C-alpha cells in the first residue's frame, strides 16, 4: 500500500512539473511599470491579412481632418479621420511601394523604415468650395501630432499632399508586414501586424 501511494505521489509531482514546464514554454517574460519581471501568456494574433494591395472604389467631398495612431497587442493602427463621411463613401487604396511619389508632381518623398506603405484616402485634405486646408500636414514632413516612439511595426510617417480629391500619406514600417483596412463612418483604419507569425 505504501509503495503504491508513493508511486501515485511521484506521478502527481511529475505531472505538476510537466504542467509548469508547459506554462513556461507558453509564456513570455514581461516587465511591469515597477520593473518587476512577470510571466504573461503569449497571445494568438490574427493571420491571413496578407500584404497585397487593398482597394475600395468610392469617394467623398467631406474633408480629412486628422490622422492618429495607436498601439495594440498584435498590430499598430493608423487612422485617417474624415468626420461626417459615411463608410459607404470612403474609398481608399493602400499598398506597399518601392518609393512614395507625390500625386500630381511625381516628386519622390523619402520615408524611413524597411518598407513603405502608401495610404490614399478618397477624400480631400481641403474644403472643395474654398480650397482652404482642413488637414495641417506639410508635404514631405512627418505627420503633425503623431509620435511613433515605442511602436513595433511603424517607423515613420510622411504627408504627400492632397490632389484631385485624394489625400496621400506614406507610412514607414519595419518590414513588409501583413495589414488590413477597415472602413467605418468617419474614418479609414489601417492595421499593420507586428509579425507574420501567430504568436507574439
Reported confidence tier of residue 103, pLDDT bands at 50, 70, 90: confident
Phi first, then psi, for residue 143 (nearest 5°) are -70, 130
Task: Report DSSP letters for 61-129, one per residue.
Answer: SSPP-EEEEEE-SSEEEEEEE-TT--GGG--EEEEEESSEE-TTT--EE---SSEEEEEEESS-SB-TT
Q: What angle do CA 27, 30, 31 make, to 5 degrees?
A: 160
Give the tens place of pLDDT for each residue, 126-160.
Answer: 999 999 999 999 999 999 999 999 999 999 999 99
* C-alpha dihedral, 82 to 116 to 99 to 107, nearest 10°: 30
Q: Which residue from 166, 170, 176 is spatially nearest to 157, judged by alpha carbons?
A: 170
Give the tens place of pLDDT for each residue, 38-47.
Answer: 555 566 787 6
Task: Copy the grid coordinates of residue 107.
Answer: 516628386
pTM over 0.85: no
Mean pLDDT of 39-61: 83
User: Residue ranges of the domains in the chain?
Assistant: 2-41, 54-193
Backbone dihedral region of 113: left (phi > 0), alpha (psi from -120 to 50 degrees) or beta? left
Q: Does residue 178 have a pLDDT over 90?
A: yes
The CA distance from 167 to 156, in Å, is 17
Fold type of domain 54-193: Immunoglobulin-like (2.60.40)
Q: Does residue 106 have a pLDDT over 60?
A: yes
Amino acid at each position: 500500500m505504501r509503495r503504491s501511494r508513493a508511486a501515485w505521489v511521484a506521478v502527481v509531482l511529475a505531472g505538476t512539473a510537466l504542467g509548469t514546464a508547459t506554462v513556461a514554454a507558453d509564456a513570455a517574460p514581461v516587465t511591469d511599470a515597477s520593473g518587476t519581471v512577470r510571466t504573461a501568456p503569449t497571445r494568438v494574433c490574427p493571420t491571413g491579412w496578407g500584404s497585397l494591395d487593398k482597394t475600395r472604389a468610392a469617394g467623398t467631398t467631406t474633408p480629412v481632418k486628422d490622422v492618429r495612431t495607436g498601439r495594440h497587442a498584435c498590430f499598430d493602427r493608423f487612422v485617417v479621420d474624415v468626420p461626417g463621411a459615411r463608410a459607404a463613401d470612403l474609398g481608399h487604396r493602400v499598398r506597399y511601394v518601392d518609393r512614395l511619389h507625390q500625386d500630381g508632381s511625381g516628386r519622390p518623398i523619402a520615408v524611413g523604415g524597411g518598407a513603405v506603405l502608401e495610404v490614399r484616402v478618397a477624400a480631400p485634405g481641403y474644403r472643395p468650395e474654398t480650397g482652404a486646408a482642413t488637414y495641417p500636414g506639410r508635404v514631405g514632413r512627418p505627420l503633425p501630432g503623431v509620435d511613433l516612439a515605442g511602436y513595433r511595426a511603424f517607423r515613420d510617417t510622411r504627408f504627400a499632399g492632397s490632389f484631385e480629391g485624394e489625400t496621400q500619406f506614406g507610412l514607414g514600417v519595419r518590414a513588409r508586414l501583413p495589414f488590413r483596412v477597415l472602413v467605418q463612418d468617419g474614418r479609414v483604419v489601417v492595421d499593420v501586424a507586428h509579425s507574420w507569425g501567430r504568436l507574439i
